[in-house]
Structure formats: structure tokens, C-alpha cells
Amino acid sequence: MLPYFLGCPSWSEPAWRGSLYPPGLPSRDFLPAYGRVFNAVEGNTTFYARPAATTLARWAQLMPAGFHFCAKLPRDISHEGDLRGNLAAAGEFLDLLAPLGARVTPLWLQLPASFGPPRLGELAAFIDGLPSGRSLAVEVRHPAFFARGDEEKALNRLLLERGVERICLDSRPLFSCTARTPAVLHAQSKKPRVPPRPAAFTSFPQVRFIGHPQLEANDAFLAPWLDKVAGWIEEGRTPHVFLHTPDNHRAPELARRFHEQLMARLPGLPALADSGGGEQLDFL
């Protein structure tokens, strides 16, 4: 058992066959193979579309009991209209995810760059209107929330008082890349270029690391996060760390690289399990 949660943006990448997954592994068996190695995943898919009830029932059968599925609230809730008017839809979404039980934690609310300080009251009302006991993490992108002024302090105070985590996004490695490949250009057009904020307002800090496509180029950016995550673990927190690469083809490799380097900071930290990527696995 790891003392923290580690994962990738999803488990459904066909390019991982032959590395994380055995060659020829059917896509229906990706989740069990992923769960052999990693104990958490970003729920990016739920941002774009609500999964079918049959899909959720299958996930519930395949996800290990201690697995964390950090489901993003759908974009029609987080990006359209007043958050307060979307509370009913948020409740319906949580009801839909009920088959996954305690594995849906924390819930993620990713706000658009247009969501600025004048809407903090709206955010507070939305948080207060969610079911009690629900762990929540919020990602903001408005420049004012990164200016170290009163507006950022007001956001941090709002989250801290409500036991809500502020997601730490580090996109510096991605934007340090000068390659002009389609994957890099696409990622740079989609990801926000904001300074990292290593917050820990709760027992479950959240880190999203958007990596450079050359794995070794990430090491200088990973170093302070290794110290931070090790410190959080030593404090008794359970951080969640998610590693990306521009097209995510090498995200599992980067996640393994992070964990191997963390093992040097925390003697006794167990190694990740073998993925079985070089052999065919039997899933019953």
C-alpha cells in the first residue's frame, strides 16, 4: 500500500500497449491492468460526457476498493451559467456515480479562466450546497488568483474555511519545451500557463504535473515537488499526484520516474507493481 495516490489522466490510452499494457490487450481490460500499478486516476472523461450506467457498473466491478477516481464535474456544470443554478445537476451527477462508492474522491471542480474574483460568492454557495462529507478540490485559472494579492487570499481563505483543496497545476515543463510537434503545440494551446501554487489546505493535496515530452527534462521541475510530496506524506497527509505528457503516450513512464525518485526521498517506500506490459495477462 502506498502512502499517497499516484496516477495518469486516464487509463484508456491504446499507445500504452507494449509498455504499461501487454501487446494486444483488449481495451476492456485496460482498467484492471492500470489498477495493478496505479491507485488513482484523473476523471477527465466525465468532464466531457457522463458515463452510461452500464459503464459505471463495470468500472465498479474492476476498480480496486482503495482506488481513487477523481471525477471532474461535467463542463455544463462548471463552465455554463451560474454555479448556484447547477447544483441540482451536480447532485444528479453524484447520484450517477454512486456505484463507485467511496472511490469517487475527491470530486474535482475545474473552473474556466473567465471565472474571476467577482464570482467567489457563487463558488462559496455552490460548495455549501453540495452534499456534506463530500471531498472537493477546485482548479482555478483566472490570473487574479495567481497574483498573490487580496483576491488570491480571498480564494484561499474561502477554500481553507470549507475544507476544500486547491489543485496545484504545474505546466512549466510543458511550456519549457521548444519542440513544434503537433502534440506539444496542441497541449500548449489547451493548458493554462499559470505559476504553480503548492497548496495543502486539506489532508489530500492535489498535484497535476504537465510534463515535457523528454522525460529527463522534467527532473529539475520534479525536484521541488518530490520534496513537497515527501513532506506532506511525513505530515500524515495523502497527496494525489497525476503526471501528464503532451499526448500522454509517456505519462505512465513519467509517473514511474516520479515514484522512483520519491523512493530516494522516502526510504522504505515500496516500488510500484510490475504492470505486466511485456506479457499477456489473464483477467477474469
* pLDDT (tens digit per residue) in 254-278: 999 999 999 999 999 999 998 666 5
- Helices H, strands E: what count in the chain? 11, 9
**Burial track 208-232 (b if 16+ CB lie within 10 A, e otherwise):** bbbbbbeeeebeebbeebbebbbeb
**Residue the block writes with cell 471525477:** 71
Please write the tens of the pLDDT for every residue from 169-222. Answer: 999 999 999 999 999 999 999 999 999 999 999 999 999 999 999 999 999 999
CA–CA gap between residue 165 and residue 159 (Å, rounded): 6
pLDDT mean over 12-37:
96
24/281 Cα distance (integer angstroms): 10
> CA-to-CA distance for 84 and 63, rounded, in angstroms?
32
Residue 43, helix vs strand vs coil: strand
Task: Indicate the residue type of 36.
Answer: R
Question: So what's the pLDDT on residue 277?
Answer: 63
- What mean pLDDT comes out for the span 241-259? 97
The pairing of beta strand 136-139 with beta strand 107-110: parallel
pLDDT of residue 151: 98
Phi, psi angle pair for 248, to nearest 5°? 65, 10
User: Which residue's entry shows cell 474574483?
Assistant: 117
The answer to whether residue 251 scores a pLDDT higher than 90 is yes
In whole angstroms, what is the distance from residue 84 CA to residue 244 CA? 32
Helix (H) or strand (E) holding 108: strand 107-110
The rounded distance, in Å, linking the Cα atoms of 117 and 123 is 10
Please report which confidence band the pLDDT of residue 76 belongs to, taking 50, 70 and 90 as the band edges: very high
Distance between CA atoms of 211 and 256, rounded to whole angstroms?
A: 13
State yes or no: pLDDT of 224 exceeds 90. Answer: yes
pLDDT digits (tens, 9 = 90+) for 101-159: 999 999 999 999 999 999 999 999 999 999 988 999 999 999 999 999 999 999 999 99
Question: Could you tell me the CA-to-CA distances from 50 to 57, 110, 252 in Å, in that order?
Answer: 13, 16, 25
pLDDT at 280 (0 to 100): 40
Phi, psi of 176, rounded to the nearest 5 degrees: -80, -10
- Kindly tell me if the per-residue pLDDT of 282 is higher than 50: no
For position 274, what pLDDT does the model report? 82
Distance between CA 202 and CA 107 in Å, rounded? 13
What's the grid cell of residue 53? 450506467
pLDDT > 70: percent of the chain:
96
Band the pLDDT of 1: cuts 50, 70, 90.
Answer: confident
Identify the pLDDT of residue 276. 62
Global pTM value: 0.95
Q: Is the dihedral angle over the CA atoms 46, 52, 53, 55 positive or is it negative? A: negative
CA distances from 73 to 94, 173, 203 (A): 9, 26, 21
